[in-house]
């Protein structure tokens, strides 16, 4: 199967207090670059959805190997649903068989988890990882759901699509707490052992 991650990275980090995408981790990369590298290593490619005004980020992401999809940002009323739809429209235009909808603030995912999700999409049209009974991200969607995902807008994510097709959803158990660990605040970042805030 031809699968691409769609990394949503157009948010403005209001709860964090600064642009968390640019915060450096002890990986030697920024938060965004660390998350991106996970997908590049596991799947060989990654579509990153960013604000069209993020001029400083574009050269770095392109140099790292990302494919960029640019959208108007939150200052112009665009939300997560718009980001998701833009990334999926690009995936559909390139005839991908499936995509993993991912978030840029989840740098602790394990590569084995991403590989397992990609493999599971060959058996099930919808796949969500589960750790100790908790659903997490990224979530896998086969191409049959692309038209529905492309209709999303505002702050509406893909939850409604998952609920509408619950009978087709595979809940994939994984040994990876990273599927439920994101970075909303500085405290979220600092509580992670081995991943302290550098600057």
In a domain, 176, yes or no: yes
Greatest alpha-carbon span in the chain: 45
Number of domains in the chain: 1
The values of phi and psi at residue 196, to 5°, are -75, 160
Residue 75: pLDDT over 70: no
pLDDT at 199 over 50: no
- Residue 199: inside a domain: no
Is 196 inside any structural domain? no
**131 domain residue, yes or no:** yes
Query: Helix, strand or coil for residue 180?
Result: helix
Q: What would the mean pLDDT of 13-35 be, rounded to a whole number?
A: 86
**Domain with 86 in it: what CATH number?**
3.90.550.10
**Range of the structural domain that residue 100 is part of:** 3-190
**Pairwise CA distance, residues 189 & 43, whole Å:** 25
- The pLDDT tens digits of the residues spanning 35-45 come to 999 999 999 99
Q: Mean pLDDT throughout 70-76?
A: 75
Contact between residue 34 and residue 111 where contact means Cβ atoms under 8 Å apart: no
Q: Judge whether 133 and 152 are in contact, CB under 8 Å.
A: no
Whether 151 has a pLDDT exceeding 60, the answer reads yes
pTM of the model: 0.92
**Backbone Cα Rg of the chain:** 16
């Amino acid at each position: 199967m031809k699968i691409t991650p769609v990394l949503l990275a157009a948010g403005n980090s209001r709860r964090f207090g600064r642009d968390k995408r640019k915060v450096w981790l002890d990986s030697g990369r920024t938060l965004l670059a660390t998350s991106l590298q996970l997908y590049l290593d596991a799947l060989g490619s990654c579509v990153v959805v960013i604000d069209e005004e993020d001029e400083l980020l574009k050269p770095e992401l392109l140099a790292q190997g990302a494919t960029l999809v640019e959208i108007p940002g939150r200052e112009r009323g665009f939300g997560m649903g718009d980001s998701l739809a833009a990334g999926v429209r690009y995936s559909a235009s390139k005839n991908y068989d499936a995509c993993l909808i991912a978030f840029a603030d989840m740098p602790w995912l394990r590569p084995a988890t991403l590989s397992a999700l990609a493999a599971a999409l060959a058996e099930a049209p919808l796949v969500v990882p589960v750790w100790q009974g908790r659903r997490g991200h990224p979530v896998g969607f086969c191409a049959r759901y692309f038209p529905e995902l492309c209709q999303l807008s505002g702050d509406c994510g893909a939850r409604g699509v998952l609920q509408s097709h619950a009978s087709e959803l595979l809940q994939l158990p994984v040994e990876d707490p990273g599927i439920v660990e994101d970075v909303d605040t500085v405290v979220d970042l600092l509580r992670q052992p081995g991943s302290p805030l550098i600057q």
